[in-house]
Structure 1
Amino acid sequence: MPTLKQSLLIAAAATLVSVPALAQTKLGIPDENISASGSDTNLPVNANDGWLNTRWSANASEGEQWLQYDLGSCHQVAYANLAWYNGDSRKYNLRLQASADGTTWSTVFTGTNSGTTAALKPYSFGGRAARYVRVLSTGSDVNTWVSLSELEIWTNGAGNCSAPALDPGKAPGQNFDLSGYRLQTLDGSLQVKQVDPINAYTDKYFFTDGSTGAMTFSVPSGAGSTANSHYPRSELRGKATWNMGVTRTLSVSMKVLQQPATGQIIIGQIHGEQTGGSELLKLRWTNGDILMGVKKNFGDSEQRILIKSGIALGQNIDYVIKLVGSTVTVTVNGTSKSFTYNTASWSAVDLYFKLGAYSQDSEKNGTTAKVAVTALN
């Protein structure tokens, strides 16, 4: 039979196991730093509002869904607090991941929630250095819907997130997670072919730079083209498609290394499966200017909006394309422009992301469109 003193020590030890250290602090995450693979009307920011009666929801019937926080800078992540919608009666399949750069991810937890509480529950990260944290799920033991009421990030303070070096000796698919993409590249006859899965594939139009390790896209002017286009391309095409009304984000760090004679390259897109004007957004590099090409209605002529000027060949470009509901916001090197679409006109279009080098030069004039990507999320 333990003494009173022994009982108090045992209770204190149990408390220390379950309660975070006082030095740990909860991060305040701005709503603009939150992204997700998708959602219904229960938006990603609902998981960051401090209320357990709101939630982020997404249907994982066609694949795993994720919610991601950008912590703003590198932190030693102590743990994440998660509260699940109906978590007292549902077990959600989940993974928790951390990343220093938003490209390379480490899994810190795989399993389920307890199924016995809808309250916040901590999942330890062990002080892992990270700038990005995300939770992934395929749904629960009830259905394929992922519904998270709240996500909190607690840290031990600043961390050291030295970005992992890209390996010049590896193929692009070995330096980057390209499992969610297929490659549209030129074959030997300058016609476009599809490569899926990409894995260790490489060719003279899609390769790793031998000095920097960057994923490089290169196409000669006047080469072959896909249907409904006169221009050559070497691009990644997202496998996942969605409709207007959800949240989707594409983040890329890259450089334009060579320009075609026209001076125009499309470096990112929100495209549609349908033909005849289904490009919701084209992000254009044009002689150093970055413009977003938009169409308010499906099939409209493209309207071009200048975002940033004076970005020379070889200068770094950090861009983010974010679709929230019917509004697209494009941020280039810290400058943002937004555009709102006619949702009804685009409602039946299946959309997806593209990125790479889509040259806007149909003449065989000896010039090349070439871009190098150093980060992709």
Structure 2
Amino acid sequence: MPKNQKGAGRAGGLSTFVLMAVIPLVSLPAFAQTKLAIPEANISASASDSNLPVHANDGSLSTRWSADATTGTQWLQYNLGGCYRIAFANLAWYNGDSRKYNLELKTSDNGTTWSTVFSGTNSGTTAALKPYTFGDRPAKYVRLESTGSNVNRWVSLSEMEIWTQGTGTCSGLDRNRTPGENFDLSDYQLQTLNSSLQVKFVDPINTYTDKYFYTDPSTGAMTFYVPSGAGSTANSKYPRSELRADTTWHMGGTHTLAVSMKVLQQPATGQIIIGQIHGEQTGGSELLKLRWTNGDILMGVKKNFGDSEQRILIKSGVALGENIDYVIKLVGPTVTVTVNGTSKSFTYDSASWSDVDLYFKLGAYSQDASSNGTYAKVAVTALD
């Protein structure tokens, strides 16, 4: 499950927000859709003189927010009141046609942990609004930080607008941490790939990361990346970047795996296994495989140990990048798989499976053994 994140106070008390279309003052990126209206109560700053923080969001370039940065970095912060996919921020600087301000633009899901989107200066050639691209990054907070300009240590910002692509999904994960720091992976080992695209096992995971298992720098998601045709484990011909639970158990009692994730890319075959109940024994001990097949999600099950797999459709028409919440729950001999609210159940022959040591797996188990240049990519935002 995700490790506890530090809480953060809201920057204000209002929670009603309006998205309104406006005519931009400068030429803006083609993907811009709407400007987010920020209530005054949701605008805060480290300090100010008589030029208040709300003046940076009043629609006028003749007013400004100002703060003395002589003693350190000053910041202006917007609480967006929800999670939005930010296309860009429009900034206009006081005397920006003759001053270059040092600035950093940052985003956060919780108001405590920040990721830098831009670090540098304004152009120093215009006082008009100019866009700083965020690349559709999801966030609940946006912060501008500055230590002043090449003229003095005062920070003076005329306007800051936030333009969005609509609502997004914020995980509360730290984009600067490894997967093992964002999630409790103490009961998992990692099956990944080495530099020669051959199988590599990592246990314990701790702070381990590589190009096939990493934290997405935009969302903080635990990401699994698998090139088609890479090396496979002993009893398979398919490549994987996958977590395997260390704890094993027998059929009986209740065993649950809950995951929130997205399939970001599918291989040429269109097939990925995104979750499993697997067995230690060879010869067909895969109790359940949760399969992605060109946007359809199916459960593959075997009534008896060693049987051929039966496939049951759970959900169809799921798009790449669409959120998938799934729960695999085995109670006695009956497994129930729920995907985005739709459930299917199957009952096994318990006598056939009674001596099999079982465990959970999740990640990206690509079903493409050809070296065709395609890949599977899966992003996990919650694990329990």
What's the TM-score bracket when you normalise by the shorter of the two chains? Answer: 0.5 to 0.7
Q: Distance in 2 between matches of 1:297 and 1:315?
A: 34
User: Are 1:363 and 2:370 an aligned pair?
Assistant: yes
Q: How many residues are treated as equivalent by the alignment?
A: 221
Q: Secondary structure at the match of 1:170?
A: coil
Q: Secondary structure at the match of 2:181?
A: helix
Q: Is the aligned partner of 1:236 residue 2:243? A: yes
Which residue of structure 2 aligns with residue 290 of structure 1?
297
- Which position in structure 2 is the counterpart of 1:334? 341
1:314-363 deviations in whole A, cap 9, x for unaligned? 00000000000000000000000000000000011000000000000000
Q: Deviations over 1:4-40 (max 9, x none)?
A: xxxxxxxxxxxxxxxxxxxxxxxxxxxxxxxxxxxxx
One-letter identity of the residue aligned with 1:104: K
Hey, what's the Cα distance between the residues in 1 that align with 2:178 and 2:3?
Answer: 15
1:193 shift after superposition? 1.4
The structure 1 residue matched to 2:322, chosen from 310, 315, 324, is 315
Deviation at 1:180? Answer: 0.9
Distance 1:223 1:336, change over 3 A: same
> Please, which of 266, 270, 281 is the counterpart of residue 263 of structure 1?
270
Given the alignment, which residue of 280, 303, 310 partners 2:310? 303
Gap regions ≥5 residues in structure 2: 6-168
- Choose 1 or 2 for highest CA Rg: 2
* 1:306 alignment partner, SS class: strand
CA separation in 1, counterparts of 2:214 and 2:285? 29
Structure 1 residues 325, 105: closer, same or farther in 2, change over 3 A?
farther
Moved segments of 4+, more than 2 Å: 102-106
Cα deviation 1:152-206 (Å, max 9, x = unaligned)? xxxxxxxxxx986111111100011100100000111211111011011000000
Q: Does 1:249 align with 2:256?
A: yes
d(CA) in 1 for partners of 2:324 and 2:189? 23
Partner of 2:365: helix, strand, or coil? strand
SS of residue matched to 1:361: coil
The secondary structure found in structure 2 opposite 1:179 is coil
- SS of aligned partner of 1:330: strand
Measured in 2, the distance between the counterparts of 1:290 and 1:368 equals 18
Written as runs of structure 1 = structure 2, the 5 A alignment for 1:169-180 is 169-180=176-187
CA separation of 1:243 and 1:220: change in aligned 2, threshold 3 A = same
Higher helix share: 1
Any idea what SS the aligned residue of 2:180 has? Answer: helix
- 8 Å Cα contact 2:171-2:219 kept in structure 1: no
Residue in 1 that maps onto 2:350:
343
Unaligned 5+ runs, structure 1: 1-101, 107-161
Describe the superposition over 1:95-131 as per-residue Cα deviations: whole angstroms up to 9, x where unpaired.
xxxxxxx63359xxxxxxxxxxxxxxxxxxxxxxxxx
- Give TM-score, length-normalised by structure 1: 0.57
1:191–1:323 Cα change, 3 Å: same
User: Residue type matched to 1:292 in 2?
Assistant: M
Could you tell me how far apart the structure 1 residues matched to 2:347 and 2:353 are? 11
SS in 1 for 2:336: strand
Larger displacement relative to structure 2 (352-361 or 182-191) = 182-191
**Residues 265 and 322 (structure 1 numbering): CA distance in 2 closer, same or farther, change over 3 Å?**
same
Alignment of 1:89-168 (within 5 A): 103-104=2-3, 165-168=172-175
3-state secondary structure, aligned to 1:271 = strand
Residues in 1 aligned to 2:334 and 2:170: alpha-carbon distance in whole angstroms: 32
Query: Could you tell me how far apart the structure 2 residues matched to 1:293 and 1:173 are?
Result: 29
Question: Structure 1 counterpart of 2:352, which letter?
Answer: S
Identity of aligned residues (%): 81
Mapping 1:32-71, distance limit 5 Å: none
Q: Tell me, what secondary structure is at the counterpart of 1:174?
A: helix
Deviation string 1:66-89 (CA, Å, 9 cap, x unpaired) is xxxxxxxxxxxxxxxxxxxxxxxx
1:192 aligns with 2:91: no
Pairwise CA distance, 1:246: 1.8
Change (3 A) 1:329 1:199: same
State the partner residue of 1:217.
224
The secondary structure found in structure 1 opposite 2:290 is strand
Q: 1:272, CA displacement in angstroms? A: 0.2
In structure 2, C-alpha distance between the alignment counterparts of 1:249 and 1:104, rounded to whole Å: 18
The answer to whether the aligner puts 1:281 opposite 2:281 as a matched pair is no
Q: 1:164 to 1:231 in 2, by over 3 A?
A: closer
In structure 1, the residue matched to 2:43 is: none
Q: Distance in 1 between matches of 2:197 and 2:2?
A: 31
Structure 1: how far apart are the matches of 2:198 and 2:324? 29
Match of 2:40 in 1: none
SS in 1 for 2:176: coil
